[in-house]
DNA sequence: AGTGCCATGTAATTCGTTACATGATTTC
DNA sequence: GAAATCATGTAACGAATTACATGGCACT
């Protein structure tokens, strides 16, 4: 009974594990110190997801004995896990059900994949933002400003934020270019570098 | 078995009804044409919430017979509903569980309350944003830029968006000022105006 | 003695989604 | 004849939260 695509929650956990071996506790900590604001499952939810990932053989668990600390289980990504993660990151969902954050969430993990994939994802995000911007701007024209001042104001905030994100996307584009160059340079100098994608 | 505070979903539905009598269908439509992007319950969820609101006597239902269209039920806010809504809008939750959107959601409904309440809510939002900005900026310093380029980039987006929201808050402040003045002018000229708060 | 960190989980409950079901009327 | 709009709901399921439960070590 394998699902075709794991849930976003599962993929995010998987993504964090892809950066290196982690325990459930580590994951909970890292979540709130990094992507917690984009997407924040509770500690207990993480512990529920981990066995599911093992079951789908996307990660493998390993017991670690400790003296002065409680024993713990650490999880490491498997080849199947890498494949699942890669296909998630490479697929561009034009209208994600989980909202616009899904683009950003995927971009967060783009250190794991070739710069090419990051660029593709970014393009999808840009298209999404542009569509939204058009829609919101036309909504703004329809609203009457006299009766519902705050409706308009809130909409204006949304529009301003989209514009900011679009500007940011331009920055990222440049950054990806620099990344590609530095990776290419390293590739024909020394063979293994920490900057190369790891999955 | 009365809850002390209705859920956010209930309050948002209640808020929309406060603008005027609505059917379940109307609500679903209005949601996706206005605040859907901030907070989007499905149509079927709306139909589940409406009886709950009746039960808590925050709204009253009325049957409407129609010839060429199916009959429908329309909902109107009650005095108890107004009280619940007002207390929600006037209360500033410094760290909302539903995330930052809760501030914006409340501001969306601020045409219903005195300008004073809007300003108080806005101040809370500003404090929230400033706290976040400080936190994110310190996170940015901690990240190493070499290994995880995209972690930094995503964080930079969040920071840029917060700055945009803060600028927007300045705008809203000015707009509220204008609103107060125009309301005051109307108050000592004609007695009833559509621009006065309705709850 | 008390707080906080490490570490993992279960149980109860709520919230919400998707899919299904129905059916008339209007518009292309 | 097909599609869209109006109109309301149920049923099955999944996802996620909060609260509960345990327990040792380190630091003040």
pLDDT of residue A3: 46
Ordered alpha helix ranges (H), A43-113? 43-55, 79-90, 101-108
The Cα A133–Cα A121 span in angstroms is 18
The Cα B95–Cα B111 span in angstroms is 23
Å from B191 to nearest chain A CA?
17
Distance of CA B81 to the CA centre of its chain: 15
Q: To the nearest 5 percent, what fractions of chain B are helix, strand and coil? A: 65, 5, 30
Summarised one tens digit per residue, pLDDT across range A13-25 is 999 999 999 999 9
Between CA A52 and C1' D17 the distance (Å) reads: 19
pLDDT of residue A68: 73
Summarised one tens digit per residue, pLDDT across range A103-143 is 999 999 999 999 999 999 999 999 999 999 999 999 998 87
pLDDT(A43) > 60:
yes
Summarised one tens digit per residue, pLDDT across range B119-160 is 999 999 999 999 999 999 999 988 777 789 999 999 999 999
The Cα A105–Cα B87 span in angstroms is 35
pLDDT of residue B196: 66
What average pLDDT does this structure show over A138-157? 88
Provide the β-strand partners of residue B59: B77
The Cα B186–Cα A129 span in angstroms is 40
Largest CA distance in chain B: 69
CA distances from B126 to A132, A149, A152, B47 (A): 25, 19, 19, 35
Residues contacting nucleic strand C by the 7 Å CB criterion are A 23-26, 29, 43-44, 47-48, 50, 66, 69-70, 72-73, 97; B 7-9, 40-45, 48, 68-70
**In this structure, what DSSP letter does residue B67 have?**
S
Contact, A13 vs A23, CB < 8 A? Answer: no
The Cα A8–Cα A135 span in angstroms is 26
pLDDT of residue B69: 75
What average pLDDT does this structure show over A85-98? 94
Distance of CA A130 to the CA centre of its chain: 20
pLDDT of residue A193: 53
Optimal mutation site among B102, B140, B164, interface A, most CBs of chain A within 10 A: B164
Summarised one tens digit per residue, pLDDT across range A159-169 is 999 999 999 99
What average pLDDT does this structure show over A42-46? 94
What average pLDDT does this structure show over A23-41? 92
Distance of CA B1 to the CA centre of its chain: 26
Cβ within 8 Å, pair A151-B33: no
pTM (two decimals): 0.92
Report residues of chain B scoring pLDDT below 50. Answer: 1-3
CA distances from B77 to B11, B12, B14, B113, B196 (A): 11, 12, 7, 15, 18
């Amino acid at each position: 009974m394998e699902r075709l695509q794991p849930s976003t929650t599962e993929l995010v956990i998987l993504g964090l594990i892809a950066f290196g071996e982690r325990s459930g506790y580590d994951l909970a900590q890292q979540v709130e110190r990094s992507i917690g604001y984009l997407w924040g499952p509770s500690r207990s939810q993480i512990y529920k997801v981990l066995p599911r990932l093992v079951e789908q053989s996307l990660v493998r668990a390993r017991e670690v004995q400790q003296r002065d600390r409680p024993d713990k289980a650490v999880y490491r990504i498997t080849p199947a896990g890498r494949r699942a993660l890669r296909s998630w990151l490479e697929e561009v969902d034009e209208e994600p059900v989980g909202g616009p954050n899904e683009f950003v969430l995927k971009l967060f993990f783009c250190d794991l994949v070739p710069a090419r994939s990051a660029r593709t994802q970014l393009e999808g995000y840009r298209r999404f933002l542009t569509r939204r911007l058009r829609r919101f701007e036309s909504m703004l024209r329809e609203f009457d400003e006299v009766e519902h001042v705050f409706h308009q104001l809130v909409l204006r905030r949304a529009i301003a934020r989209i514009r900011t994100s679009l500007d940011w996307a331009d920055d990222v584009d440049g950054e990806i270019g620099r990344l590609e160059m530095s990776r290419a340079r390293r590739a024909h100098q020394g063979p293994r570098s920490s900057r190369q994608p790891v999955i």
